[in-house]
A = this chain, B = another copy of it.
Amino acid sequence: MKWCRFEHNGSISFGTLEDDEVHVAEVSGHPLGDHSYTGNRYSLEQVRILAPIIPPMLYAAGPNYRGHVEGMAARRGARPNYPAIPEPNFRSVHAIIGPEDNIVVPKDCSGAVQPEGQLAVVMGKRARNVSRDEALDCVFGYTIGNDISQRVWQGNDRTMFRGKNCDTFKPMGPYIVTDADPTGFHIVVRHNGQVWEDFRSRNQIWDTATWIQEMSRYTTLHPGDVLMLGTQGADGDMFPGDTVSVAVDGIGLLRNYIVAEE
């Protein structure tokens, strides 16, 4: 099943995509709590698809593909330093935008931002000290994220506040697909239509179940929490006027537009 969140006539609802993939059935309530179908259905033309969820906590796996570690190291002229343990970092939930929204490049940065297109897992149940075998039972589904990064700030600042968490820097969506195998996804990142990355989730350094197991040793994962699972490669600069998209078979297309802050 594919869940979405959408705006129609100024009000926001959750819904599920119908089999024809062009109609949405509206739900009242929250997909992770009590909910029921309202009986309303809309064509995708009639609604604006939003980020599918605003999580309590938004985590990022960071380096989770060897290609990303190697690509980022090569830029610095350094040897790749593979992560020793799966430790997430945090991202701002206020930076989340939906598909087709604008990524706004702040006035006072160098003008370029870079994409990190990736799969993201959405938690469905509380998880604390879960085993690897139990971990995927706590998952609600999978969506797409783009961990937009301003590399000058990321490299020079003490924290990743400006480098990765300016307003609009976290595109997410369009849908959350449930009942999927997290090792079976195929992710393609395009810049102005040109393929920049083409990779598969089975090549993660740590898989989804391991991330959930390891994180749950220290924190309680809550329903709705989102963990972005990392990108392959180290992509180049994007400037105002450019388009970036992340396509994942079985989930959908997350496309966004780079604009300059006015």
Residues of chain A whose beta carbon lies under 8 Å from any beta carbon of chain B: 56-57, 62, 83, 85, 87-95, 106, 108, 128, 157-159, 161-162, 165-167, 215, 217-222
Contact = CB atoms under 8 A, between A and B. Distances in A.
Contacts of A221: 94
Contact of A128 (B91, B157, B167): B167
B167 A219 contact: yes
Contacts of A93: 56-57
A57 B87 CA distance: 20
Instruction: Give the residue among A57, A62, A215 with the most B Cβ atoms within 10 A.
Output: A57
B218 A94 contact: no
Contacts of A94: 56-57, 219-222
Contact of A159 (B57, B87, B95, B217): B87
A165 B219 contact: yes
Given A56-B93, A90-B90, 14 more contacts: A62-B158, A83-B158, A87-B158, A87-B162, A89-B158, A90-B159, A90-B165, A92-B219, A94-B219, A94-B220, A94-B221, A106-B218, A166-B219, A167-B219
How many copies of this protein are present in the complex? 2
30 contacts: A56-B93, A56-B94, A57-B92, A57-B94, A62-B158, A62-B159, A83-B158, A87-B157, A87-B158, A87-B159, A87-B161, A88-B161, A89-B159, A89-B161, A90-B91, A90-B92, A90-B159, A90-B161, A90-B165, A92-B219, A94-B220, A94-B222, A95-B219, A106-B217, A106-B218, A161-B215, A161-B219, A165-B219, A167-B218, A167-B219
A167 B220 contact: yes
A217 B108 contact: yes
